Amino acid sequence: MAKLNVSSEVDRYLLEAKQWPDELRAVRSLLLNCGLDESLKWNKPCYSDAGKNIAILQEMKSFLALMFFKGALLTDPDGVLRDQGPNSRSARRVMFTSVNDVTTQSKTITALVAQAIEVERSGRQVPAANPLELAAELRSSLDADDALATAFAALTPGRQREYNLYITGANQPTTRQRRIEACVPRILTGKGLRDR
């Protein structure tokens, strides 16, 4: 059996886990036995193959999620993969609420991990998204401020999209404008909406 690449940072993370500690350990064991490397990224246990992200563990209030970065490219004969939300393009997740959930789905998880590794090694990509259509208020703010436009353009496409979704999620133009004003300092420092 190959030596498992266990991360001391993830060890510490698990020691401090309050909501899903047993479930985290159970999923971690499966992922490590699949030969994945382990690290802490975005302050969450992340699993990779040859330096390429495969999956990440996410603690939610009502469930523990095993999120596959390119889950949209996986076949799901058992129907366990779920979208992260209505605007999710590539990520898909399996949700657990007990160690029994992990145990009963262990073969499915192992098969999904093997498939995710193969997808990553093949170089397959999730098809590109349609060009981002910015909220009118955001477009006006970017047109009026060169520094803001430059900082926004330097953000990753995902961060740009997240800001746009947040802004367009407001029904009233005044609320959209307030959201833009609140986001400007973060954009200017190169941070995403939820970055720390």
Residue 74 sits in the same domain as residue 21: yes
Structure tokens at 75: 């076949």
Burial class (CB in 10 A: 0-12, 13-18, 19+), 14: middle
pLDDT digits (tens, 9 = 90+) for 19-49: 999 999 999 999 999 999 999 998 999 999 9
CATH classification at residue 110: 3.90.1150.200
The verdict on 117 and 33 lying in the same domain is yes
Amino acid at 190: G
Other Cβ atoms less than 10 A from the Cβ of 87: the count is 12
Confidence of residue 4 (pLDDT cuts 50, 70, 90): low
Q: Say if residue 111 is in the same domain as residue 165.
A: no
Count of structural domains within the chain: 2
Q: Is the pLDDT of residue 1 over 50?
A: no
**108 and 12: one domain?**
yes
**Among 30-39, 60-69, 121-130, where is mean pLDDT lowest?**
121-130
Mean per-residue pLDDT over the chain, rounded:
91
Q: Are residues 84 and 20 in the same domain?
A: yes
Range of the domain at 150: 136-188
Question: Quick check: pTM over 0.75?
Answer: no
- Both 116 and 158 in one domain: the answer is no
Cα–Cα distance for residue pair 110/160, rounded to 1 Å: 34
* pLDDT one-digit tens code per residue, 151-184: 999 998 889 989 999 999 999 999 999 999 999 9
What does the alpha-carbon distance between residue 122 and residue 73 come to, in Å, rounded to a whole number? 12
Q: Are residues 113 and 158 in the same domain?
A: no
Determine how many CB atoms are found less than 10 A away from the CB of residue 35: 15
**One domain for residues 109 and 149:** no
